[in-house]
Structure 1
Amino acid sequence: MGILLLIAAVSLYFYIDPQRSNMFPKCTFLQLTGLQCPGCGSQRAIHQLLHGNIMEACRYNTFVIIAIPYILLGWFVEYQSIKHGKCNRIRNILYGRSAIYISAITITLFFLIRNNII
């Protein structure tokens, strides 16, 4: 089931450009404040990444591109923890209290820098 959803998502991004399509939702935060949230541009960034345009993807949302390896590692570790009971130490590092604080600070800094607030 998960693989089918992944195939559907990849197909969607290869055949529908979020830059030109009206089927993708607009960011409510951007429309209300004029500021880009940390997720703004992520659809376009992933679309560009799937097409091999790394620099263009980074132009839309650098944070998402940098976060992808962390997310994939998290999924892998979670799978190993559930299925085999392994990787619990790494899982605690990835999802522990310190990781939450580091993630929150990083996302906040990205938001502030991207909107030229600091």
Structure 2
Amino acid sequence: MRRVDIERAQQGVPTGVGAVAGRVAVPAGVLAAVAGAFAYVGTVDPNEPGHYPVCPLLRLTGVYCPGCGGLRSAYAFVHGDWVTALGANALAVTGYLAFAVLWTVWVVHAVRGRPMRIDLGPAQLWSLGALLLVFTVVRNLPFGGWLHP
């Protein structure tokens, strides 16, 4: 006898293993792409000259952008050296952790057949932009040396 989840049946969400696999396919693909990128950065050391291009903003102006040190941070993160990862780019490490949380929530929603919605209004977007701006300014000031890559 086949079990029927009444809640899902009423919502019109398909319930079989194939349906769940179909809903999880996109999050799995995103995870595979991110894992592949981290695997590449983990094997090709960004601390060695010539492996990656220099940040154009840093090269032209001498100013660290919010992403400067991100590859070194990812390399250290992959190798389990979280202190070095934070030292290379603390904002990037925060982004890695935020991705992990959001991806997990996305998978849980997908398995349950619920849409994943992230509704960022203007206030949240402006706040995110302000955070990036403050991070960039502080890491380029003399007292922000602890944020240099």
User: TM-score band, normalised by the shorter chain?
Assistant: 0.7 to 0.9
Is 1:20 matched with 2:48? yes
Give TM-score scaled by structure 1 length.
0.78
Task: Describe the superposition over 1:48-86 as per-residue Cα deviations: whole angstroms up to 9, x where unpaired.
Answer: 0111111101111011111223233444556647x9344
The one-letter code sitting in structure 2 at the alignment partner of 1:35 is V
Is 1:108 matched with 2:133? yes
Is 1:35 matched with 2:63? yes
Distance 1:73-1:110 versus aligned 2 partners, 3 A rule? same
Q: 1:10: how far off?
A: 3.0
Unaligned runs of 5+ in 2: 1-28, 144-149
Give TM-score scaled by structure 2 length.
0.63
Is 1:69 matched with 2:94? no
Task: Report percent identity of matched pairs.
Answer: 22
Quote the residue 1:53 is aligned against. Answer: 81
Task: Describe the superposition over 1:30-63 as per-residue Cα deviations: whole angstroms up to 9, x where unpaired.
Answer: 0111010000000000110111111101111011
1:5 to 33, 36, 51: 33
Unaligned runs of 5+ in 1: none
- 43-52 or 71-80, larger mean C-alpha shift: 71-80
The one-letter code sitting in structure 2 at the alignment partner of 1:61 is N
Q: Choose between structure 1 and 2 for higher RCO, CA contacts under 8 A separated by at least 6 residues.
A: 2
Distance 1:78 1:8 in 2: 19
Distance 2:136 2:70 in 1: 13
Distance 1:36 1:107 in 2: 12
CA RMSD of aligned residues (A): 2.5
